[in-house]
Amino acid sequence: MSAQPKKKISKVRGKTRRAHWHGALPKLTLCAKCKASKLPHRACPECGYYGRAKVISTKLESKVAKTLEKTKSRITSKPSRIKKTAKPKTTHKTINTPKNTGAEFHTDQE
């Protein structure tokens, strides 16, 4: 027989205990560069800066770059009415060992 509670916990007592079960909102700070609210110790998603350095590209920048790339390829490539044939997929990669002896590469040996 498993362990049993000594006394019944009433509905109110259980609910009172569970009243404190809730998530907390993240504490936000202001970006030093663009003053947008952001998570502390994270790069700003608005401007991509962490402190004084630009560390990530923002969503807008990547979108612009993607659009530019698309437009470039559209201008340079032939009309895309003909479907491209799919390349045969390689199932495994060969590891280039020194001198390409074809020997198996073991890393767990010491």
What is the identity of the amino acid at 58? T
Coil, strand, or helix at residue 68?
helix
Residue window 63-102: x/- pattern of binding to Zn ion, with contact defined by CB under 5 A: ----------------------------------------
CB of 29 to Zn ion, least distance (A): 11
Please identify, using beta-carbon distances, which residue of 37 and 67 lies nearer to Zn ion.
37
Contact 29, 37 (CB under 8 A): yes
Distances (CA, A) of 1 to 4, 6, 21: 8, 14, 31
CB of 83 to Zn ion, least distance (A): 43
Please, which of residues 11-50 interact with Zn ion by CB under 5 A? 31, 33-34, 36, 44, 46-47
Contact 38, 29 (CB under 8 A): yes
Q: Which residues pair with 30 in a beta bridge?
A: 37
CB of 79 to Zn ion, least distance (A): 42
CA dist 90 and 99 (Å) reads 23
Please identify, using beta-carbon distances, which residue of 9 and 36 lies nearer to Zn ion.
36
- Contact residues toward Zn ion (CB under 5 A) are 31, 33-34, 36, 44, 46-47
